[in-house]
A and B are shown apart, each in its own frame.
Chain A
Amino acid sequence: MRLVSPSDSLPTPRWKLFATLHTCCRHVRFAIVAIVLSGATAPSARALPPPTAGEPLPAIQSLGIEPVSILLHGSNRQQQILVTAKPNSGPPIDVTHRCEITSSDPAVAAVSGTVVRGAGDGTAEIRVRLGARWAAVPVRVRDAGHVPPVHFANDVMPLFSKLGCNSAGCHGKASGQNGFRLSVFGFDPDADYAALVKEARGRRVFPSAPEQSLLLVKPTGRLAHGGGRRIDPDSADYLILREWVRQGTPVGEAGAPRAVSLRVSPAERVLGLNAEQQILATAVFSDGTERDVTAAAGYTSNAGHVAGVDPRGRVRTGKSPGEAAITVHYMGHVAAVRFQVPRPDAPHPYPALPANNPIDDLVWARLKAIGILPSELAGDAVFLRRVYLDVLGTLPTPSEVRSFLADTDPGKRAKWIDKILDRPEYADYWAQRWADVLLVNRDKLGDRGSYEMHRWLRAQFARNRPYDQWVRELITASGPAAQVGPVNFFRASASPEEMTRAVSQAFLGIRLECAQCHHHPFEKWTQDDFYGLAGFFNGMQRKKLRGDDEMVFHAGNRPMRMPLTDRLVAVRPPDGLALAATEEGDPRGHLAVWMTKPENPWFAQLVVNRLWKHYLGRGLVEPEDDLRTTNPATNEPLLDHLARTLVKNGYDLKALTRLILQSRVYQLSSVPNATNKDDEQYGSHYRVKRLPAEVLLDAVCAVTEAPEPFPGRPRGTRAIELWDNRAPSYFLDTFGRSERLSPCACGRSSEPTMAQCLHLMNAPEIERKLADPGGRVARLVGQNRTEEQIVEELCLAALGRPPGEKERRAARKLFAGGPPREAAQDFLWALLNSHDFLFTR
C-alpha cells in the first residue's frame, strides 16, 4: 500500500471539488434506490439503514489504496479498488465509496464507480482523492482488445452459485425448476454443461444470436422467470455469459488454471453504527496469477441486523451494535471478514471487572469491545439450584438449600461445585445426554444393545475417563453387541454413509452430510472428504449371534466409490493424509488417532462448545455442532482457550466443567441491565433455560415425594437414569425427550406445546402425586406443620429458595379458602406451574 503524506497534496481546483460532491450524491441516491427495490423481495434487507456517506469524517492523516498495483490482462477483467483512510485517532475508515477516483489516462484504464477496467494497452495511474488527501496506484493493461476464452467451470459455473440458480430451492433441486435442472451447488459440471447446451433442443443457448439464449433472456427478466430478474444486462456477469455463448459454449481448456485460494481484505474491522466497508476479494489461481473476484464472489452475513452486505461486497452496519461475520465464497473457497460494532453509549471508562478465572477475562474483553456490562452475580439460592440442575439434572433438597445458605465460608461456591461434581447423578445425567448424541435408540439397538451402550457411557462419566480415550475406544470398537457397549454406536447406523454422518457430527462438528451429495455450500468440504471418511467404515459388518445379539467387526480396509463416477476415493480423514493404498486390516485406529490428536482443530472445540452451550444456554458456535470458518464463534479466543485447556488437562471433561462453573460468567444473574438486555450471545447474563423432559419429571417427583412408576424398573428409578428412550411415558413424550434419530442435538426440544401446559395443569398423574398419601404434602400436613412451615418447605423443595412475598401472598389466599391439605396441594400445584419451577434461572 502506498501511503501519501499530507505535504504531497495536489492543489484542488474548484470544479473538481464540485465533481467529488456530485459523485458522492450519485452514490447515495443509487444506494438508496437499490435498497428500496430489494426491500420488496428480500424483507431482511429492509433492516439496512440508508448509507450515510455524508456523515462527517474525522481528520484524516493519510489514504491507502488496495491493491498496490493493478494488472488487467484481457478485456473482461476488472479491478475493484479499496480506499482506506487513516484518521488521526481511532480505527481505519473505509472511504472507497466516498472519494473521487480518476484515471490519468482513461484511454488505457477506465474508472467506473470504484472499479477499474482496461480500455487500451499501456500504463496509467489511478488517483484517489478525499478532501485534501490523495493517493495513487499504477495500472498496466495488456490485451485489452482480446477476450480470453471463457472457461465453463471457472467462469460460468461460479455465476450459477453466486446468483442462486443452482440452489436447492431453484434449479438445483432434484426435480429442477420449470424443466431446467442444475446440479445443486454445482457438484456436477458435466451434467450442468449438458443441461445448458444439449437439453431443451438447444434453446437455452444460441451461439448465433447470444442475446436470444434463454440463458440470458430469462434471468434478465426479458421473458417471465419464476426466479425474477437476477442479472443486470450491464453487469460483468451478463457479459461473461454472453461471451461464453458467443464463443460457442466452450467447455474450456482441460489444463486451465483453477482457483486455489481466496483472499479477502480487510480481515477484520471495527465499524460504527450506520457505517460501511467495501470488501475486496482476490482469487489466487493454480498458475500463480491473481484476479479480482469481488464482483464474481457471493456474500452472506451471519448477522444481517448488525451488518448487511450487497452482492458487490459492500457492507453496511445498521443501528444494532454487535458482531457480524461476512462470508465470501468463490468457486468452493470461502473466507470471512469479521466486524465489530460497539455500542455508541458504551460505558466510558469501562470499569475493571473482577475475574475468577481466564474465562471471565476473555468474556469481559468481548463485552468491553462491544460496550456492554455484565449482570450482577446471581444470589446464593439461584446459584445452587442452577448448578444442581445443570450438572446433575437434579433439584437440591430443602436441607441442602438450607445448609448452603447457612454456610458462611466465602469460598463456599467453589467448595459446593466440587461436592456436586462428585455426586453419582453426574454420571446418570451425562450418560443420558450423550446417549442422545450417540443415538442410543432402543428401536435400532434392541434392549440389550441400548442397555450395554448406556451402561458403558455411564461408566465413562462415573470414572471421569478422559474424553479422547473413550472416544478412541468407541471409534475402534468391535465385538458382540451384548458385551461390548460401544460397538452399538455402529449398530445405530445402517451404512458407512450414516456412520460418517454420525461420527463427523458427533465428534467433529463438521457437517459432512452435505458433502455426501454435493460440495458443502458454505465450506470447503467436498464429496472426496465425505467418501474418504466413509471409507473407514466401509468394512463394518454385523453377524447374527444368539438371540438378538450381533457381532460387529471390521472386515478390512476397503475404499468407497463415488456414486456419480464410480471412482475409488482414497480412505482419509477430512483434511488429513490418505492411508497408504496397500494398507490392509481395520483402518479405524488411524482415524481415532487423527481425531483425538491435539492438533485436530475440531475435536476439542466441539466438546467444549457442547459444554458451554449446556451451561450457558447458547453455544459459542451455533448450532453447537456446526463448526466452520463461515460460522465463527461469538468469542473465538474463548473457544480457543477452552479447547486448549481441555487438551492440556488431558481431556478431563469434569475439570473443564469445573472451570466453567467457577467462572463469574456462569454465576451471573439472569436479570439483565440496561446495557445487556439485548445480548443473547456474549454471556453477559445467564440465560433462562427450561428444564428438559427427564429433569422436569424427576423434579415433579422429588417435590411431591411421589416417584414415577416406570414399568419393569425398580420403584424410585429416576427419569435421568433411564437407558431406554422408548420407556413408555406420556410425560416424557409430551415434554420432548430426544428421539435419538439424528446425531444433531436437535432431537430434543425445549419449545412449549399446549399438550405440555395442559398436562401440568390437569393431568390426573400429577394430581395423584400432589395428593399422594405418602407424598410431601401429606407428610407436612400430617406432621401438623404450620402454614408458614409448609409454605417454606414447599418453596425450598420446588424453587430452591425460601418463599418470597409473592409466594406468601398466594399461599395466604389459598389457606384462607380451604382446608390445609387442599390448600397445600393447591399451593404446590401453583409452584409446579410457575416459571421459577419450570425454568433454571
Chain B
Amino acid sequence: MLPAFCDGIDRRGFLRLGSAAGLSLAQILRLQATRAGEKPKAKDVNCIFIFTLGGMPHHDLWDYKADAPAEIRGDFRPIKTAVPGIGLTDLLPHTAKVADRLAILRGLTHGDSDHGRGYHIMMTGNTPGPGDFNSTKNNNVHPSLGSMVARMTNQGGSLPPYISVPCFLRSGGPAFLGPSYAPFVIEADPAAPEFAVRDVVLPEGVGGDRAVRRQDAVREINRLERAVEDTDKDVRALDAFSAKAYRLMTSAKAKEAFDLKHETAAVRETYGMTSVGQCCLLARRLVEAGCRFVSIEHGHWDTHRENSKSLRDLLVPGLDRGFSALVADLNQRGLLDSTLVVLTTEFGRTPRINTMAGRDHWPQAFSIVMAGGGVKPGIVLGATDKIGGSVTDRPITPPEMAATILHALGIDPGASLHTPLGRPVELASGGKPVLDLFS
C-alpha cells in the first residue's frame, strides 16, 4: 500500500488513533515520529546551548560598527582576534583568542521584539501565534530544541538526554511532546560552594549500606504476579526508568558528571567562578558523560539603561571567560567536533543608544555564535548595514537556525512530529539548514 505521507508514515498507521493496540495517542504518534526520525540516524553530536536572556547587544560584542557615530558604535574599542579580519570588541578579550574556533552569524532576524515571544522563537525556531508569553513559566507551543533532541535521539544513556542549568529555561519545555521530553532541571548555581544536584545522590543520613538494603527490599516487594507485569506497559516503563535512575545513582561516572569537585581549582578558575562560567564547565562534564543537550540560561541582559556599564561590570566578563574556556577546553579534549556550542539570545538591541544610556529591543538584525559540531571555524556569516539595523547579507531566520542546529546534531529538520490532535508539525518549522556553515 502507498505510504500516504512523504515521511513514510502510512496513513493507516497515522489513523490508528487510540487504536486497539491500546497505546495512548501520544505514544503512537511518538512511535511514528521515531520511525520518521530514523533517517538520517542521529550522529553523536551533542549541543551546549547558552541563552543570554534579555537580548544580547550585537553592536557591543559581535557586530562592532567602527565607522558609525558614537551613539551607535557605543563605548567599546575593537580588538584583534585570532582570525585576521574578524573584529570583536574589547569586552571579549578571552573570546578573541578562540575566534578561530567560532562561526559568528551576523544575519539573524525575526520580527518580534517581545521577550517572551522572542525567547520562544529562539529556543524553538517557531513563531507562536498571538499571545502573551511572559507570564507563563512553561510557555512552549512548539517543542524546544532540547526537547526535540531528547525526542529524536536514543535515550539509552545513563544521564537524562536534556538537562538545563541553573534553572528551567522558560521556553525550554516539551510542548505537546509531553513531560517525558522535558529537561532534567538542575535548579542550583554551580558556582555556589554548596552546589549539588538534587535527587541524584543519596539523601543525608542514608549511607551506602542502607541504600543497598532499601533497594533489596523494594526489589523483593515488587516481585509480583508475573502475568500482570508482562502485560502492563506502564509498570514496565516505570521499571525501565527506575533502573536508569538507579544506574545514575550508582554509576560513579554518571554521578561524577554532576560533581564539579572533580575538576581542579585551576580548571574551575579558567572557566571563571561565576554562575555562567561554572554552568559551562558543568555542561562540558554532562555531554562528556552522555547528555545530548544542555541548555544554560545567563540572565538579565535587558539593558534598557546603563548598557555599557552593565555589560562591562556585570554581564560580559563572566560570559567571556566561561564561553571561551568552554570552546578551548572542548577543543583541547578533542570534543569540539562532537559538540555544538551555541551562544544565542532572543534578539539584539537598538543601534542607537537611548537617553538612559541603554539600548532597547531590536529583533530585525542581531548576532549569534556557534562553535564545533562540524560548523566551519573562524568565519563570519552574514552582515548588517552601517548601523547594524538591518541585515544586508545572508539573513538567517529562526527556522533556519533551528534546522541548522538539528542538522549539526544529525537530526532531520524536516522530520514530522504529531500534535495530540494528529497534526503533523515539522521539527524546524519549515526551515532549511544553513549549509554554508558546514564544510
Which residues of A are interface residues toward B (Cβ below 8 A)?
34, 38, 41-45, 163-164, 167-170, 173-175, 177, 226-228, 230, 298, 300-306, 308-311, 322-324, 327, 443, 494-495, 511, 513-514, 521-522, 618-619, 621-623, 626, 630-631, 634, 670-672, 677-678, 680-681, 687-690, 726, 730, 736, 739, 741-742, 744, 746, 749-759, 761-764, 766-767, 771, 806-807, 809-811, 813-814, 817-818, 822, 826-827, 829-831, 833-836, 838-839, 841
Contact = CB atoms under 8 A, between A and B. Distances in A.
Contacts of A759: 199
Contacts of B17: 302, 622-623, 626, 631
A302 B176 contact: no
Contact of A762 (B24, B203, B210, B244): B203
Contacts of B430: 173-175
A767 B8 contact: no
A521 B11 CA distance: 11
Interface string B180-198: 1010110100000000001
B184 A42 contact: no
Contacts of B220: 806, 809-810, 813, 830
B205 A771 contact: yes
A169 B18 contact: no
B179 A303 contact: no
B13 A169 contact: no
Interface residues of B, number: 88
B249 interface: yes
Given A169-B5, A303-B19, A623-B420, A838 B244 contact: no
Given A169-B5, A301-B16, A762-B200, 7 more contacts: A41-B10, A169-B9, A677-B231, A680-B21, A752-B242, A756-B241, A830-B214
Contacts of A826: 210, 213-214, 217
Interface in B14-40: 14-22, 24-26, 35
22 contacts: A41-B3, A43-B10, A167-B6, A170-B5, A301-B15, A303-B20, A304-B19, A308-B1, A443-B137, A623-B420, A690-B234, A746-B26, A751-B180, A753-B182, A758-B249, A763-B203, A809-B220, A813-B213, A813-B220, A829-B218, A834-B218, A835-B224
A750 B12 contact: no
Contacts of A742: 176, 420
B248 interface: yes
A52 to B, nearest CB: 19
Contacts of A311: 1-2
Interface string B233-262: 011011011101110110000000000000
B12 A618 contact: no
Contacts of A38: 1-2
B4 A761 contact: no
B206 interface: yes
A169 B7 contact: yes
Contact of B20 (A34, A323, A521, A522): A323
Given A762-B199, A806-B223, A833-B218, A170 B6 contact: yes
B71 interface: no
A763 B136 CA distance: 26
A814 B160 contact: no
A764 B204 contact: yes
A150 to B, nearest CB: 22
Given A305-B20, A757-B241, A814-B213, A688 B218 contact: no
A755 B199 contact: yes
Contacts of B160: 753-755
Contacts of A730: 187, 198
A689 B234 contact: yes
B30 to A, nearest CB: 10
Contact of A757 (B187, B222, B238): B238
B265 interface: no
Greatest chain B CB density within 10 A among A688, A757, A822 is at A757
Contacts of B332: none
B202 interface: yes
A531 to B, nearest CB: 17
A767 B206 contact: yes
Given A749-B180, A755-B199, A835-B238, A761 B5 contact: no
B221 interface: yes
Given A513-B421, A680-B22, A762-B201, A835 B227 contact: no
Contacts of B138: 739
Contacts of B13: 42-44, 304
Given A749-B180, A818-B210, A511 B16 contact: no
Nearest to A178: B6
Contacts of A305: 20-21
A606 to B, nearest CB: 14
Contacts of B21: 303, 305, 680
Interface centre among A174, A302, A726, A754, by most chain B C-beta atoms within 10 angstroms, is A754
Contacts of B249: 758, 761-762
B426 interface: yes
A818 B225 CA distance: 30
Contacts of A306: 20
B425 to A, nearest CB: 8
B202 A762 contact: yes
A681 B18 CA distance: 10
Contacts of B135: 443
B230 to A, nearest CB: 8
Nearest to A164: B4
Given A827-B217, A830-B218, A309 B12 contact: yes
A817 B210 CA distance: 9
Contacts of B180: 749, 751-753
A741 B175 CA distance: 10
Interface in B93-122: none
Given A681-B22, A752-B241, A744 B420 contact: yes
A253 to B, nearest CB: 30
**Of residues B26, B35, B228, which shows the largest number of chain A Cβ atoms within 10 Å of its Cβ?**
B228
A766 B246 CA distance: 17
B216 interface: yes
A41 B248 contact: no
Contact of B136 (A443, A681, A746): A443
In the A-B complex, the 6 residue pairs with the closest CB atoms: A622-B18, A680-B22, A164-B4, A757-B245, A830-B217, A767-B203
A300 B15 contact: yes
B130 interface: yes
With most chain A CB atoms within 10 A of its CB, the pick from B8, B203, B224, B426 is B203
A228 B3 contact: yes
Nearest to A677: B231
A301 B234 contact: no
B1 A164 contact: no
Nearest to A622: B18
Given A817-B213, A827-B217, A839 B235 contact: yes
A322 B20 contact: yes
Contacts of B4: 163-164, 167
Contacts of B230: 677
A757 B248 CA distance: 11
A199 to B, nearest CB: 18
Nearest to A746: B420
A495 B14 CA distance: 30
Contacts of B232: 670, 687-688
A314 to B, nearest CB: 10
Contacts of A43: 10, 13, 35
A310 B204 CA distance: 62
Contact of A494 (B5, B130, B178, B179): B130
B290 interface: no
A324 B209 CA distance: 54
Contact of A751 (B15, B178, B203, B242): B178
